[in-house]
Structure 1
Amino acid sequence: MALVFVVNSGSSSIKYQLIDPEAGAPELKGSLERIGEPGGDAADHTEGMRVILDRLGSGAEIAAVGHRVVHGGSRFDRATVIDASVEAAIEELSSLAPLHNPANLLGIRAAREVLREVPHVAVFDTAFHQTMEPAAWRYAIDRALADEHGIRRYGFHGTSHKYVSERTAAVLGRPLEELRTIILHLGNGASVTAVDGGRSVDTSMGLTPLQGLVMGTRSGDLDPAVVFHLERVAGLSSSAVDELLNKRSGLLGLTGRGDMRDVQRAAADGEPDAVEALAIWRHRIRHYIGAYAALLGGVDALVFTAGVGENNALLRRRALQGLEFLGIRIDDDRNELDSRAERRISPDGAGVEVLVIPTDEELEIARQALALIG
């Protein structure tokens, strides 16, 4: 049995799973928190890795270590075996993901120090979207400046979108190459991807995960001039605007609540700000569905995934209301079914198959890592 140790490292945390990719289920999973802090689970990431290996036990035969890396820029379009040059590239790309890539590197370096005889594989959130054409990824700014500084649309949640697109084909019993799919990854972070024949052709997130849908604390789409206006009239620095748009906007900025469940409860109680916030959230989703239906030249499947997408029947229904003209309909009984299984929630004979597919990014990382090392 070939086991893959999957690592998702944050600046002060390590989430991990030991997965049998063939069985499709974790043998063990857990996390370390407050690394490097008083009373935390470990003094640093290297000690944390040793703590985790003790938990795994000496009998765990690890074939590979799969690392989640947020930003691969335009250099990495697939999973890659990690060596010193790959580490250096991930560090260089930290300017594009300063909150994520340095933290991912802490886990990579600690795991390579502790597990020296095992191949380590980086799986990039951005890799799946490297199939986009320039018409989708290039911003209309000075070409030379953009190329020099890597300014373009990269997209994120790619590991999730890849996994879900392939599971959609399996659930429908249709070849992946024939399917035009819109995937709604709806959680605290949220993104939409248009997938044509298994290839990402457009996605809502951009240079960073800030662009696109309304999220828990992120604004999503915004006129860039808002930044300059805030600097001029509100006296905010660029770092203050960065914090505002990433950490104090979205649902939190609109309602004072960053959790969708709290916003829903407030809306149900008739709170005007919460009611309006849900309307804005829905409007943005419908905007992207319409755009991607046009881009794909039609839709065969529309799929909900991630925390809100998998678990919130009411918001699934509201998000799709009024899209019947596209052949998109929901069967209320199927939609309301309390299930964690992959399932169809559209009525029989609907023009577009609407599904709920629980995502499993860790399993996808494990499978890509094992496939790469053979």
Structure 2
Amino acid sequence: GWDIDKIDKMLNKESGLLGLSDNLSNDMRTLIEASENGNEDARLAIEVFSYRLAKSLAGLSCGLPKIDGLIFTGGIGENSAYIREKTMTYLPHFGFKLDKDQNNTLQRGTEGRIDVRQGPQIWVIPTDEEGRIAKETEQVVQQAKKLDVVIG
């Protein structure tokens, strides 16, 4: 039998993209490169990731009266045209029409619209988590100074 530590390690360290890719990587960039070079395990991991992302988006849409658009953001969403395109192939029934050229030419860290200007909009919007955290921390410190509160 497996003890709790072994189960925890398997679920939290050896599953997901890493497990699907036969321990190749949990980094999407590595998986895409390997897939392009014919690695079937990497291809499977990418397909499952894209399908599950689309499935989650479809599920979340159930509570909405309609969908006006979709925003890709964060690491993979803002940096991988390949994953954006793969994901959109699973969502044709929502009326999204991806502009493949625009999707592929959008530079890393650049905001832009990647649809064909018909139907719901598709956007890529970069995030700046560290910058946002820094700004909010500064606001807390400034407020604490006003209230003469010691932080630390």
The aligned residue for residue 93 of structure 1 is none
Q: Which structure shows the higher helix fraction? A: 2
Q: Aligned-pair distance for 1:284?
A: 0.6
In the comparison of the two structures, how many residue pairs are matched?
139
Q: Which AA in structure 1 matches 2:16?
A: G
The aligned residue for residue 241 of structure 1 is 7
* Residue correspondence of structure 1 range 33-72 to structure 2 within 5 A: none
The aligned residue for residue 149 of structure 2 is none
Q: Which AA in structure 2 matches 1:341?
A: T
- CA–CA separation in structure 2 for the residues paired with 1:284 and 1:251: 12
The aligned residue for residue 304 of structure 1 is 72
1:261 alignment partner, SS class: helix
TM-score where L is the length of structure 1: 0.35
Please tell me whether Structure 1 or Structure 2 has the larger radius of gyration of its CA atoms.
1
2:72 alignment partner, SS class: strand
Q: In structure 2, which of residues 114, 120, 141 is the aligned counterpart of residue 345 of structure 1?
A: 114
**Aligned-pair identity (%):** 35
Q: 1:369 to 1:265 in 2, by over 3 A?
A: closer
Q: Aligned-pair distance for 1:351?
A: 2.3
The aligned residue for residue 316 of structure 1 is 84
Note the alpha carbon deviations across 1:304-347, whole angstroms, 9 max, x for none: 11222112111110111142221222111210114222111112
1:295 alignment partner, SS class: coil
1:309 alignment partner, SS class: helix
* Residue correspondence of structure 1 range 99-114 to structure 2 within 5 A: none
Structure 2, unmatched stretches of 5+, are: 147-152
Q: Which structure shows the higher strand fraction? A: 1
1:262 alignment partner, SS class: helix
1:302 alignment partner, SS class: strand
2:30 alignment partner, SS class: helix
Note the alpha carbon deviations across 1:35-65, whole angstroms, 9 max, x for none: xxxxxxxxxxxxxxxxxxxxxxxxxxxxxxx
2:71 alignment partner, SS class: strand
Note the alpha carbon deviations across 1:82-140, whole angstroms, 9 max, x for none: xxxxxxxxxxxxxxxxxxxxxxxxxxxxxxxxxxxxxxxxxxxxxxxxxxxxxxxxxxx
Structure 1, unmatched stretches of 5+, are: 1-234
Q: Do 1:323 and 1:329's aligned partners in 2 also have CA atoms closer than 8 Å? A: no
Q: 1:239 to 1:367 in 2, by over 3 A?
A: same
Q: Which AA in structure 2 matches 1:292?
A: L
- CA–CA separation in structure 1 for the residues paired with 2:66 and 2:5: 41
Q: 1:361 to 1:250 in 2, by over 3 A?
A: same
- CA–CA separation in structure 1 for the residues paired with 2:5 and 2:122: 41
- CA–CA separation in structure 2 for the residues paired with 1:243 and 1:296: 37
The aligned residue for residue 361 of structure 1 is 129
Q: Which AA in structure 2 matches 1:331?
A: D
- CA–CA separation in structure 1 for the residues paired with 2:81 and 2:57: 18
Q: In structure 2, which of residues 100, 103, 109 is the aligned counterpart of residue 332 of structure 1?
A: 100
> C-alpha root-mean-square deviation of aligned residues, in Å?
1.8
* Residue correspondence of structure 1 range 185-334 to structure 2 within 5 A: 235-255=1-21, 256-258=23-25, 259-334=27-102
1:236 alignment partner, SS class: coil
Q: Which AA in structure 2 matches 1:356?
A: V
Q: Do 2:54 and 2:90's aligned partners in 1 also have CA atoms closer than 8 Å? A: no
Q: Do 1:330 and 1:346's aligned partners in 2 also have CA atoms closer than 8 Å? A: yes
Deviates more, 1:312-321 or 1:256-265: 256-265
TM-score where L is the length of structure 2: 0.81
Q: Aligned-pair distance for 1:262?
A: 2.0
